[in-house]
Structure 1
Amino acid sequence: MISKTDEHQYYFEVQLNHKEGRIGTLSAKDVTGTIEVATPPEFAGGVPDKWSPEHLFLSSLCSCLMTTFLAIAEKKRLQVCNFECSSIGQVKLYEGHLEFTTIDLFPKIFVETEADFTLANETLLKTYKHCIIANSIKSLLVHHGEVLVCKKQVA
């Protein structure tokens, strides 16, 4: 649940309930639906075909980039046809524990015309600075942003 206590201070809440084995169910009071999560199959006892904490970590970064970009684009009146983002996170043993050491981000922004490229690139750079999730992690973030022209549908 999101609550705003004062200017620029927010609280978010999720609930995890163990289901069976290494599987749990995530929910939030202010969100419809649930997400099943489990240990990834790369680790002992892992469960295939389920979202893992590692997937959700990378997903939160992509989602935050998208929502931040679209909010800034709206303020700048930048017309965006589409936004896609993929990410690859490298987990390594570091000082005796596993952690994400590097995350490569591949946002693709689709705009109406090449005339929007400069504004879209400026917006993307601002997004990197204002993404809450990106600002909250210690992993090295490597940005591979692209701005492309939307493909027109042929009638």
Structure 2
Amino acid sequence: MENKYFYKTEVEWTGERHGDLRAPVLPNLQIDAPPEFKGHDGVWTPEHLFVAAVNSCFMTTFLAIAENSKLEFVSFSADAKGKLEKLEGRGFIMTEVVLRPKLLISHARDAERAGRILEKAEKNCLISNSIKTETKLEPEVSFAGDETRQPDHDVLTAQEQR
């Protein structure tokens, strides 16, 4: 495995605050500023892509760790919510991203281990590790046929885990 990888993207302005986002061998995305900044609804924004990068990295990191740990699970989904705030002297910055994964595991005996694997995925996500934004993990683990359980731990932030 190599130690360096490069990822190329390109943007092109298409009018007003619209643009196209391109990358080799990937479908193009129409991008825009969010409505709060005179953009349009229904179009991907840098803010959405930022939160999506954290969320999708968390998912792929979880999948790799779960596979290596031989964790049997039925389903995984996660929603993520980013908070954009205007800070004095700094302008607008994304101050936090809250990850809320929902994991349905195959066996009740794996509940605590599943919680630890989710925490490990958040801690090892390369995107979360590359940004200043605080990430918080609010996992929900349940098992087929049983009630939803929260792992026996408090919500941990990425900065607390590091």
The TM tier, using the shorter chain, reads 0.7 to 0.9
- Residues 3-152 of structure 1 aligned to structure 2 (within 5 Å): 7-31=2-26, 33-43=27-37, 45-96=38-89, 97-150=91-144
Q: CA–CA distance in 1 between the matches of 2:14 and 2:73?
A: 41
Q: CA–CA distance in 2 between the matches of 1:92 and 1:104?
A: 14
**1:8 Cα deviation (Å)?**
2.6
Q: TM-score, normalized by length of structure 1?
A: 0.86
Q: TM-score, normalized by length of structure 2?
A: 0.82
* CA RMSD of superposed structures (Å): 1.7
Alignment gaps of 5+ in structure 1:
1-5
Look up the SS of the partner of 1:62 in the other structure. helix
Contact in 1 for aligned 2:119/2:137 (Cα 8 Å): no
Name the structure where strand makes up a greater proportion of residues: 1
Letter in 2 for 1:128: E
| 1:4-57 deviation per Cα after TM superposition (whole angstroms, max 9, x unaligned) | xx73321111111222211111121132x11111000011x2111111100000
Q: CA–CA distance in 1 between the matches of 2:61 and 2:80?
A: 16
Aligned residue-pair number: 145
**1:118 Cα deviation (Å)?**
2.1
Q: Percent identity?
A: 35
Q: CA–CA distance in 2 between the matches of 1:25 and 1:149?
A: 42
Change (3 A) 1:150 1:39: farther
Q: CA–CA distance in 2 between the matches of 1:127 and 1:90?
A: 21
Q: CA–CA distance in 2 between the matches of 1:12 and 1:149?
A: 38
Q: CA–CA distance in 2 between the matches of 1:80 and 1:17?
A: 42
Q: CA–CA distance in 1 between the matches of 2:3 and 2:120?
A: 18
Q: CA–CA distance in 2 between the matches of 1:10 and 1:80?
A: 31
Deviation >3 Å, runs of 4+: none
